[in-house]
Amino acid sequence: MHPYLSHLECPICHRHYRLEEVTYTCPTCGEAGTLDIVYDYERLRQDITPEQISAQTAPESLNLWRYRPLLPVLDDAFIPPLHIGWTPLLRAPRLAAALEVKEIWLKDEGRNPTASLKDRASAMVAARAAEIGAEVITTASSGNAAAALAGVCASVGIRCVIFVPHTAPQAKITQLLVYGATVFLVKGTYDDAFDLSVQAAKEYGWYCRNTGMNPFTTEGKKTAAFEIAEQLGWTAPDVILVSVGDGNIIAGQYKGFYDLYQMGWIDRMPRLIGVQAEGSSSMVRAWAEERDPVSMTVEPATTVADSISVGLPRDRVKAMRAVRATNGSYLSVPDTAILAAIPELARAAGVFAEPAASTVLAGLHRALETGLVGHQERVALLITGHGLKDIKSAIASVEAEGKIAHPVEPSMDGVRQLAKELGLA
């Protein structure tokens, strides 16, 4: 028994379930009813203080398991050994000066073992899989969730079967193979891969990690919010920009700050702004038209930011709640702005992001222009994945501005000539 875990709750019909009772989504509401895992905040508040959490300074506690009482894991024996979480929250003064913003913080999630925020969710799902004795875990993924699952599974010796669209960047597919996953390269979209993985999980009795569908994913991702608050001395930034595909990351940030707010460890919720690519922006449209996310259907999705190329956001109900309940907003940015933000972020802060991560910087520009974010605010950007994940897009981003490497003859004469041409001498 978990001392603080209370129940599962559907965000649509608000029915409660016991943890053992339901594995995936709400039996009444179906696939849109992605469940919340709810804790006994009253008891947590009595038993645990933020000072106790922050007093954990030993190297083995500098990871996401430092929030163990607030995580849905029953036994330490099931915790995977990889170092996941406790990524740096970097101050970005040069970027802040360039954008004339008071403070910008970068949560550098590329620093996780498989180089994206998805490691947090996969760690939680793998721990749950071990608890229930699952022998095979499956997932659909645009790439990063799969790489994270493959890495974590390798660390604990659980088999994993991945459904990934054939268009996923080569680095991500290579990660899967290197970690030893079995890869079904789907000749279709992420949404096709999602449906296939659900059917295969059912047919073969595999445990399914799918984003949103598996309630443990949000619980893993919420630890990024815990860390941001702790790294800011148990305060919340004014606003956080989060890129949105399935909406599970933004739902996770909401859940993390919600947990902390319920316990009184932070005194207000940050505004959450969801940023999508124009070519994959169904949440932005649903938000603008005030549509009920439950009734959304698959729409065409194309963007250079493969990690957020999603036709039907699986965690749309919680993703809409995250923005609505925090007085936030949704906005979209074009692929050209997403690509331009890669070198911009790298040069202003030394952080190399994949397109789905640089998306939030493009979104910040937009939000400052439209007044959605004020220049006096404390802003955090969730940099969800590393730039080396998608070299093709990185190359496109520098080619677009005409930046090249300069060929030079192997002699000092050659160097001198080039230095002169470049105005260095």
Residues that bind ligand PLP (CB under 6 A): 116, 118, 144, 211, 243-249, 307-308, 354, 356-357, 384-385
Smaller CB separation from ligand PLP, 63 or 116: 116
What does the H/E/C string look like for 394-413? HHHHHHCCCCCCCCCCCCHH
Tell me which of ligand PLP, Zn ion, none is bound by residue 12, counting a contact when its beta carbon lies within the kind-specific cut-off of 5 to 8 angstroms.
Zn ion
| Beta carbon nearer to ligand PLP, 320 or 356 | 356
| Interaction partner, residue 308 (Zn ion, ligand PLP, none; CB < 5-8 Å by kind) | ligand PLP
The C-alpha atoms of residue 19 and residue 8 are separated, in whole angstroms, by 6
CB atoms within 10 A of CB 43: 13
C-alpha to C-alpha distance for 153 and 246, rounded to whole angstroms: 22
Closest CB to ligand PLP among residues 169, 270: 169
5-9/36-39 β-pairing: antiparallel
CB closer to Zn ion out of 29 and 275? 29
Of these, 5, 8, 10, 181, which contacts Zn ion (CB under 5 A)? 10
Give which of ligand PLP, Zn ion, none residue 116 binds (C-beta under 5 to 8 Å, depending on kind). ligand PLP
Q: With binding defined as CB under 5 A, does residue 28 bind Zn ion?
A: yes
Dist CA 249 CA 337 (whole Å): 21
The nearest distance, CB 74 to ligand PLP, in angstroms, is 25
Min dist. Cβ of residue 318 to Zn ion (A): 12
Q: CA–CA separation, 420 vs 417, rounded Å?
A: 5
Kindly tell me the sign of the dihedral angle through the C-alpha atoms of 228, 215, 152, 163: negative
Euclidean distance between CA atoms 134 and 132, whole angstroms: 6
| Residue number, nearest CB to ligand PLP | 385
| 241 close to 382: Cβ distance less than 8 angstroms | yes
User: What residue 237 binds from Zn ion, ligand PLP, none (CB within 5 to 8 A, per partner kind)?
Assistant: none
Spatial separation of the C-alpha atoms in residues 214 and 141, rounded to whole Å: 13
In the bound complex, what is the minimum distance in angstroms from residue 212's beta carbon to Zn ion? 14
Residue 165 partner contact from Zn ion, ligand PLP, none using kind-dependent CB cut-offs of 5 to 8 Å: none
Q: How far is the CB of 385 from ligand PLP (least distance, A)?
A: 3
> Which of ligand PLP, Zn ion, none binds 343 (CB below 5-8 Å, type-dependent)?
none
Q: Would you count residue 29 as binding Zn ion (CB under 5 A)?
A: yes
Q: Least CB distance from residue 14 to Zn ion, whole Å?
A: 7
Quick note: the x/- pattern for Zn ion over 31-70, rule CB under 5 A, is --x-------------------------------------
Rounded-to-integer distance, Cα 247 and Cα 194, Å: 15
Give yes or no for residue 26 binding Zn ion (CB under 5 A): yes
- Look up residue 300 and give its two tokens: 């065409």
Candidate residues 13, 132, 177, 325; the one interacting with Zn ion per rule CB under 5 A = 13
Q: What does 10 interact with, of ligand PLP, Zn ion, none (CB < 5 to 8 A by kind)?
A: Zn ion
Please provide the DSSP assignment of 228-289 as one string.
Answer: HHHHTTS---SEEEEE-SSSHHHHHHHHHHHHHHHHTSSSSPPEEEEEEEGGG-HHHHHHHT
Q: Which does 33 bind (CB under 5 to 8 A by kind): ligand PLP, Zn ion, none?
A: Zn ion
Runs of H (alpha helix) within 295-354: 316-325, 335-349
List contacts with Zn ion (CB under 5 A).
Answer: 10, 12-13, 26, 28-29, 33
